[in-house]
Amino acid sequence: MTSIDDAPALAPRIFRFSDVDEFRSSIRGLNIEFTPFVRRIAAEQLILRLAGCDVNITRAFPRVVDAQLVADCTAVGFAMDDLEIPIRFNGAQRDRGVIVIGSSGAAYNTIEEVPRQIASVVFWPEVKNRGWPETNSNFKIFETSTLALDRLRKVVREVVAAASEPVDAAEVPLKAAAMKESLFGAVDAAFANIVPARWTLRPNDERRFRLFEDIRALLSDDLAQPIYSEDIARKLGISVRTMHDVVRRYRGMSLHRYLRLRRLWLVRQRLLAGADSVKAVALAFGFWHLSDFSRSYRDQFGETPSQTLERGRSP
C-alpha cells in the first residue's frame, strides 16, 4: 500500500492496495467481507474527511461484497462512472441512475463483475428528519433522475478538487462546513428526484434480504464441513429450491460454486500467512481431493498452492 501522508488537514488522502485484507482493514464505517473474482487485485481509495462527513471514491476490483454499516451514521452510495455493465445490488442488476442509502447497522450485498469507480458519502451522526428514504435492516436502492445524479457526482468531484487547494488553517473549519452543506444539498436533490420504478421493490424487500443473511450466517459457520442443501433448508424452514433461488439472486452464482470460490480464497489467505503445509490447509477447508484442489487453485490464482506458501514464508 502507498499513501499520501504529508497532506494538509483538509486535503484528500489516496491509498493504493494489492492485498485484499489490507484493503478491507482500511475501510472506515463498514464491517466488510470481499470474495474477489480475480487472481490479483488493484484497488485505489480516495478519502476526504470533513467534520461529520467522509467522502470516499473507490476504484475497486471484480468481487462479491457483504457489508454492514456501523452505528450512528448514514451512508449514501452511487457509481461515478457510466459503464453499461450493471452492478448487482441486493439482488437487482442496474447499470446507471441509481443511488443507495443505509443507516446505523444496515447491510448490503453487491456483485461487481468489472472494475468500477464507486463513491460514498458517510454522514456522522445518523441523518434524520431531512426527507431521505428510511432504512432498517438493509440498504435501499432507488432510481434518480440523470440530472440529479450528474449534479451529485459533480459536487463530489468539485469538493475533492477544492479540498486539494492550499488553505489557511483558520479557514479549514469554514471551508469544510460549506463543503458538507453542498453535499447535503446534492443528496437532497437526488432523493427529491426519485423516479418511481417497480424494480426497486425486489432489492428493497427486507424479508428476502434477512433470509439471505440467515443463509450466509449458516454457510459461514464452518466452511470445512460438507454443505448439504437439505440440512440448511430444514434449519431455516424453507424449501431447497427457495434457498438456491435466494443464493443465486444475491450471489449471482450457484451455492456450490460460491462456496468453492470462498474456500479457495480462505486457503490462499492461510498459505500467505505461512501455514504448516498445503495439505493441512486444504483439508482444513474441506478439500479432500488434493489433485482436484491443486488444479482449481492454479486456475484461480495462476500459481500452485506450494508457490503461494513459499511466498508466505519468505521474509
Q: What value does the mean pLDDT take over residues 170-192? A: 96
Least confident stretch, 6-15, 60-69, 91-100, 209-218: 6-15
Q: Are residues 185 and 211 in the same domain?
A: no
Radius of gyration of the chain (CA): 21
User: Domain containing 119: what range?
Assistant: 2-201
- For residue 45, pLDDT over 90 is answered with yes
- For residue 3, pLDDT over 90 is answered with no
Q: Are residues 153 and 244 in the same domain?
A: no
Q: What value does the mean pLDDT take over residues 8-30? A: 86
Determine the 3-state secondary structure of 204 from DSSP.
coil
Domain-terminating residue out of 201, 229, 253? 201
Determine the 3-state secondary structure of 30 from DSSP.
strand
Q: Are residues 163 and 219 in the same domain?
A: no
We report the CATH number of the domain holding residue 304 as 1.10.10.60
Find the farthest-apart pair of alpha carbons in the chain and give their distance in angstroms, rounded.
Answer: 65
Determine contact, residues 33/4, Cβ cutoff 8 Å: no
Q: What value does the mean pLDDT take over residues 219-238? A: 83
Q: Are residues 86 and 176 in the same domain?
A: yes
What Å distances lie between residue 56 and 156, 171, 207, CA to CA? Answer: 9, 22, 30
Q: Are residues 302 and 154 in the same domain?
A: no
pLDDT for the residue 234? 93
- For residue 54, pLDDT over 90 is answered with yes
Q: Are residues 147 and 129 in the same domain?
A: yes
Determine contact, residues 259/223, Cβ cutoff 8 Å: yes
Residues counted in the chain: 315
Domain-terminating residue out of 135, 170, 201? 201
Residue in this structure with the C-alpha cell 452505528, named with its chain if needed: 71
Give me the number of domains the chain comprises: 2
Q: What is the pLDDT of residues 149-174, one digit of tens each?
A: 999 999 999 999 999 998 888 889 99
pLDDT for the residue 10? 83
- For residue 101, pLDDT over 80 is answered with yes
The model's confidence at residue 1, banded by pLDDT at 50, 70 and 90, is: very low
Domain-terminating residue out of 201, 219, 238? 201
Q: What value does the mean pLDDT take over residues 6-20? A: 79
pLDDT for the residue 9? 58
pLDDT for the residue 221? 73
Q: Are residues 67 and 126 in the same domain?
A: yes
We report the CATH number of the domain holding residue 192 as 2.60.120.10
Q: Are residues 35 and 111 in the same domain?
A: yes
Q: Who contacts 290 (Cβ-Cβ below 8 Å, separation ≥6)? A: 279, 282
Chain center to CA of 292: 30
Q: What is the pLDDT of residues 234-293, one digit of tens each?
A: 999 999 999 999 999 999 899 888 888 888 988 998 898 888 899 999 998 889 899 999
Q: Are residues 192 and 243 in the same domain?
A: no
Q: Are residues 64 and 138 in the same domain?
A: yes
